[in-house]
Each structure stands twice: as structure tokens, then as C-alpha cells.
Amino acid sequence: MLDMKWIRQYQEQVQTAANQKGIAVSIAELMALDERKRQLQQETEALRGMRNKRSNEIGGLVAQGEQDVAAKMKQQVKEINDRLAAMEAELMQGEKDWETLMQLVPNVVSPDTPAGRSDADNVEVRRARELPDFPFEARDHIALGELHDMIDVRRGVKAAGTRNYFLKGAGVLLHRAVQQLAVDLLLRKGFTLLDVPLMVRTEAMNQTGFFPLGEDQTYLLAGEDKWLVGTSEVPLVAYYGNEVVEVNEPIKLAAASVCFRSEVGSAGRDVYGLYRVHQFAKVEQVIICRADPELSEAILQEITANAEELLNCLELPYRVMAVCTGDMSQKTYKQYDIETWMPSRGAYGETHSSSNLHDFQARRSNIRYKDPSGKLRYCHTLNNTAVASPRILIPLLENHQEEDGSIRIPAALRPYMNGLERLAPGVE
């Protein structure tokens, strides 16, 4: 969340950010609620002070034999308590209404974030590697997966419903190989690897900024205050929730985990193949650092470069996109998406995302550090998808296919595939 004093000072900027991100929240209404809340707080404190003063005086009056005066003062205390009870009830409701609106207030966006309404307005920053030019009719990843008996969507749907799948044989090996390649890359760069909970409390989802706006994308366990996470960003950030941390050097965390998303709102979109599924695996990088905009901007470039390095290891064509205002989440200050070329789509498809949240997420999670003067300050947090599978299998299979249906394995991936240089149909 944003600091309330900052919101008061920059109301127009915050409302603009909400409008650009398509979030229905009135900052003017929030200001009115905040003013009323502060007024009620002052009035209740004044009434409590008056009540306590009167209560303390009653004992002295009784001791002095001033029974009539004491009785009148007791009546005054009763009337004050009645007023106080009504005012406290109004304050409690006011605080609840204020908190509800505050949970909807978005982060502002960086000055260099492009304006736009959807991903169609994202701006290309750079691209890498040449697109393949097949001298034969190329197969899509499902046809290749069936040819190699390593992807079975039909049985996935039979067992678990739409947007589900089975990986088999070489498909599982590739799925695990790209994750381990990403993990090893991050370990070399100083990240600490964690195995994280896949179920978290509502509090963790709220504190990391995924709720309340993302509840419809998340699976709730019936009868429990537990949600299945759609990214290990949630438990990685929650790991330091409500703590004062040491950030002389940025804290670099990584996790390889299974993730779940309901994909509500995507009905009819990307229903074919492995692009948009309910269950997948991600290697996530999360960094917590000082509240230094120049530092967190440098880290954003760094974690984006980590994802690019992974794609170069996989020898895949990609482009980096500056995400526009209308395609950003509530919590994001600045974001890049990386899109990898998918021949069957005839287009680049999103495979990675990098975000700088400034102190928005740390405020909600209460993650702080002491600056050189000893003052407590909220950290900046950042996150990036190092790799997500099985989506990454789409470009991996399709870009490296050969005319007979064989699939060339990139050199960097071969140590994780028992030294195999290619997958040949009927051989794996």
C-alpha cells in the first residue's frame, strides 16, 4: 500500500494510476473517510479523557461527603459512556470502510511506463536471436508431444478437466531440466534457494498484494483459511513479513515450486495446448533491498537479464516488452514482460515477467530495515519469473524441431537430459 500522507499530497496522481490500471476506487472518497476517521479518533480520545477525569473525581467527592455532586457526576459519566459507545461503533465502521478502500488503492507507475489499455499497447524494448525459417511444414508442440509420447492433454482433461495435462517420459525430463537449469543459474548469482509452502493464509495474500483483486484467480481450500499460491513470490515475501531485516546487501531469494491458477476471465482464450493451464511450475526470483529507487531500478534490470540469460541458454528467440499502465497489476510500479517466439502461434508469447514494486508490497507486509540514522524504513521488493513450465516447452519444442519430428536439445540443457543431444520419435 501507499503511505497515507503521500496519498493526501498526491491525490490526483494516485487517482490517475487507479484509472490507468482499471481499478474502481475513488481517492476523494478515501480522503473523506480518512478525514472523518481522524476526527472520530480525536473525539473519542477527548471523551475518554473526560470520562476518566470525571471518574477520578467521583471518589474524592464521595470522600468529602459531596454525595449529590458525586451522583450528578456519575450521571455525566454514564452519558459520556453512552456517547462514547456510539462514537466507537461509528469509528470501528469508519476504520473498516477506510481499510476496504485502502486495499484497493494501487501503486503509482514509473515515469517511463508507457500509457496503454492492454497488452496490445506494451512497447518493445529489444529483441534477441533470429526467428526460425523452417524449410518444411512445422508441427506445433502438441503434435510434437504426441509424436514423442510425452504430452497427453486428452487424458489430462479426462482426469482433471479442461486446461490440464499429463507430461510423460522426455516431457517430464524437459520440464524438470529447464527448472534445474534456472535454479543453477540463480545459485551462481548468489540467490538462496527455498522450498516454500504451496498453501498460505489469506493474510499472506493480502500482505503481498495479490488480494483483494486477485481472489477470483486463486483456489481456496474448502473449510480452511488456505489458498493455493499462483507464484512462490507470495511465500518468499511472506517469509520476512512483519520483520526488520538487514539489507546492506540485497536479500536474494529463489524457489522452484508448483503453482495453481483458476484462469477465471480467460474463458475461450488459449484453450489449446500448454499455454494457459491450471497447474504449472515456476522458478521465481524475489529480491528485497533498501528503499533506493536507483538501486531497485538496477536490480530490475538485473533480474530481467537473468531471465534473458536463461532464454539464451535455451537458444530461443525472444523480445523484452515494457508493460503499459493498463496491463499492470495493482501492486506494480514498473514491469517488463519477456515474450518468446512460438512458431505455432506465429507470434511471441509471454513467458517471463519482471516487476519493481518499490515499497508498496513491503508496506503491506511490514518488512522494514534501519537506515544509517537508525530510522525504520520500508524495503523495496522485486520479483521475476526465471522460468515457467510447461509454457516454456512450447517454444523449446517448436523452435528446435527438425523435419522428421526430432527435437534438438540446446547444449546448456544436455547435462540435465543425461547427455542427450536430440530426441528422435520412437527412441526416447
Residues ≥6 apart with Cβ < 8 Å to 46 = none
Say whether 422 is catalytic.
Answer: no
Intra-chain end-to-end CA distance of the chain, in Å: 51
Indicate which residue of 353, 355, 365, 389 is catalytic.
Answer: 353
Instruction: Indicate the SS3 state at residue 17.
Output: helix
Spatial distance between the Cα atoms of 273 and 140, rounded to a whole number of angstroms: 9
Spatial distance between the Cα atoms of 81 and 85, rounded to a whole number of angstroms: 6
Indicate which residue of 127, 201, 276, 319 is catalytic.
Answer: 276
The three grid cell numbers given for residue 82, joined into one nine-digit string = 453512552
Q: Which residues of 314-336 are buried (b: 16+ CB within 10 A; e: fewer)?
A: bbbbbbbbbbbbbbbbbbbbbbb
Spatial distance between the Cα atoms of 224 and 198, rounded to a whole number of angstroms: 14
Spatial distance between the Cα atoms of 398 and 416, rounded to a whole number of angstroms: 19
Say whether 163 is catalytic.
Answer: no
Indicate which residue of 139, 350, 354, 363 is catalytic.
Answer: 350
Spatial distance between the Cα atoms of 331 and 356, rounded to a whole number of angstroms: 9
CB-count exposure of residue 124 (10 Å: 0-12, 13-18, 19+) = exposed
Say whether 391 is catalytic.
Answer: yes
Prior bond of 212 cis (ω within 30°): yes
Spatial distance between the Cα atoms of 108 and 414, rounded to a whole number of angstroms: 44
Residue among 51, 97, 98, 99 at smallest CA distance from 76: 51
Residues ≥6 apart with Cβ < 8 Å to 377 = 290, 291, 359, 368, 369, 370, 371
Indicate which residue of 51, 261, 363, 364 is catalytic.
Answer: 261
Say whether 276 is catalytic.
Answer: yes
Pairing assessment for the beta strands 192-194 and 407-408 based on DSSP bridges: unpaired
Would you please indicate which residues are annotated as catalytic (active-site) residues? 261, 276, 350, 353, 391
